[in-house]
Amino acid sequence: MTATARPHAARYATAAARARLIAEIALDRWAPGTATPILRRIADHLTDAADQFDAHTPLGGVVDLPSEACAALWEADHLAEQFPYTRFAQDFTSYVLAPLSERPLPDTAPLRPVSPAMARTESALAHTIYVLNTDTAHQTEQPAAWLREVMEAWRRWVQLSELVRIDNARPCNRHARP
């Protein structure tokens, strides 16, 4: 199909490539044994979304989101939310949809750790995610490397959020909550 027959083809191809790369990341991710089937299901949903983006021809030359792809991405997000030990951030599929939508990329929410060391780690990771999200040159020049860095930063963020939750709940830290 030619570019004139399929307007915005590059944007759909970028979304498909991002979905496939995140699926690859899911399959390569180390996680507890119980997470492996969930990671496979997340990867399957992402691959389904990528296939839908590849096959989609927008109506009237405008960018629209194929419902089957959106449903597959929703399922992937839902699984990640249900099973946090997969270490995918909530709404991680926004990175797939970003080339097709005007939605901003996900931002971090404050974790409010009691521990100064965890607060420093939180600050550093939040800064890393912000810089990656706003680095359009890196997104364009090395999209696969950029997306891998983003997913790794978010994996570390999810891991830190669980550690903060546990640390803040310790009896010795309950009085020191920020």
What pTM value is reported for the model? 0.90
Q: How many CB atoms lie within 10 A of CB 164?
A: 19
- Residue 26 has a pLDDT of 96
Q: Is 176 in contact with 164 (CB distance < 8 Å)? A: no
Mean pLDDT, contiguous 10-residue spans, the chain (178 residues): 60 96 94 89 98 87 88 97 92 95 92 96 98 95 97 96 94 72
Rg (CA), the chain: 18
- Residue 174 has a pLDDT of 72
- For 101, half-sphere exposure in the C-beta direction (CA atoms, 13 angstrom radius) is 13
Q: Is 72 in contact with 48 (CB distance < 8 Å)? A: yes
C-alpha torsion sign, points 138, 102, 85, 76:
negative
Q: Is 96 in contact with 22 (CB distance < 8 Å)? A: yes
Q: For residues 11 and 34, what is the distance between their CA atoms, to the nearest angstrom?
A: 35
Q: How many CB atoms lie within 10 A of CB 98?
A: 19
- Residue 176 has a pLDDT of 63
Q: Tell me which residue of 88, 121, 123, 118 sits closest to 106, measured CA to CA.
A: 88
Q: For residues 78 and 102, what is the distance between their CA atoms, to the nearest angstrom?
A: 22
